[in-house]
């Protein structure tokens, strides 16, 4: 992940926390799970309870695939450190990711807004009069569809 993507992820998280006063409790959270299997179950009346996780901006990727990458899951408590980890993991699969939250009667709706990496549709070799394209293709580190 490049520095500008990391900065964007950090700024997105900072904007979330400063724009949401009721999430100030996130900064004081010490009970950070070490894996997704250690779910942070939230009480039904917890104001930081995640009711739903959404993904917007998807073109090729599917929500079902990305939901497996994030620890912020319905029924868990929204935590700053977990959101930061989620954004980092998503940033490895997509070009950019930021997170938004909104209140609902059931809890918080967490929406990850992503911009997918472009997919390579064609590789052209220009000026290769001495070598055949077929001999150059295996030498490249990228493939069509990546």
Structure tokens of 46? 């917890």
List the helix and strand counts (H, then E) for the chain.
Answer: 4, 3
pLDDT recorded at residue 24: 34
Q: What angle do helix axes 80-93 and 3-19 make, rounded to 10 degrees?
A: 150
CB-facing half-sphere around the CA of 46: CA atoms within 13 A = 18
pLDDT recorded at residue 41: 87
pLDDT recorded at residue 102: 95
Show pLDDT as tens, one digit a residue, over the chain (146 residues): 444 443 344 434 434 433 443 333 333 333 333 444 445 788 888 999 999 999 999 998 999 999 999 999 999 999 999 999 999 999 988 888 999 999 999 999 999 999 998 888 888 888 888 888 888 888 888 888 77
pLDDT recorded at residue 88: 93
Token pair 């010490």 is at which residue?
Answer: 30
pLDDT recorded at residue 60: 87
Beta strands in 20-106 (DSSP E): 50-56, 96-104
pLDDT recorded at residue 20: 40
Residue 24's Cα: distance from chain center in Å?
22
- Measure the CA–CA gap between 11 and 8, rounded to whole angstroms: 5
Dmax (CA) of the chain: 71
pLDDT recorded at residue 62: 93
Structure tokens of 82? 């977990």
pLDDT recorded at residue 51: 96
Please name which of 137, 144, 142 lies closest in space to residue 121, comparing C-alpha atoms. 144
């Amino acid at each position: 992940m490049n520095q500008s993507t990391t900065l964007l992820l950090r700024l997105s998280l900072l904007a979330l926390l400063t724009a949401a006063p009721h999430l100030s409790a996130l900064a004081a959270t010490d009970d950070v799970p070490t894996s997704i299997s250690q779910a942070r179950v939230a009480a039904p009346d917890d104001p930081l309870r995640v009711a739903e996780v959404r993904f917007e901006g998807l073109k090729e990727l599917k929500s079902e695939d990305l939901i497996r990458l994030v620890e912020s899951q319905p029924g868990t408590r929204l935590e700053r450190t977990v959101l930061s980890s989620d954004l980092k993991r998503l940033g490895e699969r997509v070009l950019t990711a930021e997170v938004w939250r909104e209140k609902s009667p059931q809890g918080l709706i967490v929406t990850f807004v992503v911009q997918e990496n472009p997919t390579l549709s064609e590789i052209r070799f220009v000026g290769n009069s001495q070598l055949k394209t077929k001999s150059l293709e295996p030498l490249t580190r990228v493939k069509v569809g990546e």
